[in-house]
Amino acid sequence: MNGIMIAVIVIAAVGLVGGIVLVIASRILAVKEDRRVGEITEALPGANCGSCGFAGCAAYAKAIVGGEAVNRCVPGGADTAAKIAEIMGTDAGDTEPYKAFVACRGNLDNTSQRFEYNGIPTCSACNSVYNGNRSCPFGCLGFGDCVRVCKFDAIRIENGVAVIDKDKCTGCGSCKDVCPKKIIYLYPPLREPRPTVMCANHEKGVDTRKQCKAGCIACGRCVRECEQKAITLHYNVARIDYTLCNGCGKCVQNCPVKCIEFMKDV
């Protein structure tokens, strides 16, 4: 038997022994995954939206079984919470189905373009050029970054402004995170109509008026009309303290530019 054949046999023997050792080690050292992880992953919506604070549904399922998290799946809502509670043998507790809304009425009828933008058709790219091409530097740019990131088909661009379909919105917050203007907010369920300021412009009134026909001009009329003292002007924009607001609607009725609207879910 020549040297080459001996070398081949030795290598083959070493590989065989190594393979056997690896198989044995994998069985001895294997970390068995709790079956509940798979069951919970199946019970979750599968959107991998990250609203729970974890990388995805599988990571969130492991965190639940490991006792690190509970009731953070906003898209899944109460039904998913109940399924997880059944798997874990615990009480479901409460999961508030938050909704998103866009604080802007600066559509194509109320605003204009400061310049023609021919770059990458995204809000983030447009916003990097002089705060965007719209006349209001604080308003929706309308390129649909929020539309593309929404896994529930709950957002559309209507007349140049993002609009949320509240029936489809799960409150995952993906749109809020991706908006470069930071004008998308999440709010808890509204059992009663609630006055909401649909503007985020911080310019002085005279400048806001030039930029958007429906922008808050910080006139203070809503502040004076509110008997509950629930409204203040913050950086030239009306802001409502909902711990004081009784929903009377005087601010809605008296706003000269109609940038305060009633918002409700049920």
Among the ranges given (41-55, 187-201, 210-224), the one the predictor scored with the smallest mean pLDDT = 41-55
CA-based nearest residue to 113, from 141, 153, 154: 141
Q: Where are the domains of the chain?
A: 35-88, 98-184, 190-266
- Fold of the 35-88 domain: 3-methyladenine DNA Glycosylase II; Chain A, domain 3 (1.10.15)
CA-based nearest residue to 255, from 227, 228, 223: 223
CATH code of the region 98-184? 3.30.70.20
Q: Flag whether pLDDT at 31 surpasses 60.
A: no
Q: How far apart are CA 243 and CA 81, in angstroms?
A: 28
Q: How far apart are CA 16 and CA 8, in angstroms?
A: 12
Residues 111, 134 contacting (CB under 8 angstroms): yes
Average pLDDT over residues 63-69: 76
Per cent of the chain over pLDDT 70 is: 85
Among the ranges given (7-11, 115-119, 176-180, 194-198), the one the predictor scored with the smallest mean pLDDT = 7-11
pLDDT score recorded for residue 266: 43
Q: Largest alpha-carbon pair distance within the chain? A: 105
Q: Flag whether pLDDT at 109 surpasses 50.
A: yes
- Per-residue pLDDT band for 138 (boundaries 50, 70, 90) equals very high
Per-residue pLDDT tens digits for 253-262: 999 999 999 9
- Per-residue pLDDT band for 252 (boundaries 50, 70, 90) equals very high
Residue tagged 């005279």 (tokens): 206
pLDDT score recorded for residue 144: 97
Per-residue pLDDT tens digits for 146-192: 999 998 899 999 999 999 998 888 888 889 999 999 999 988 766 67
CA-based nearest residue to 213, from 101, 134, 155, 146: 134
pLDDT score recorded for residue 223: 95
CA-based nearest residue to 254, from 223, 213, 212: 223
Q: Flag whether pLDDT at 60 surpasses 90.
A: no
- Fold of the 190-266 domain: Alpha-Beta Plaits (3.30.70)
Q: What is the mean pLDDT of the chain?
A: 85
Beta-bridged to residue 232, according to DSSP, are: 239
Question: Which of the pair, 59 or 266, is modelled with greater confidence?
Answer: 59
166 backbone dihedrals φ, ψ, rounded to 5°: -65, -25
Max avg pLDDT among 7-16, 50-59, 168-177, 252-261: 252-261
190-266: same fold as 35-88?
A: no
Q: What pTM value is reported for the model?
A: 0.70
**Identity at 208, one-letter amino acid code:** T
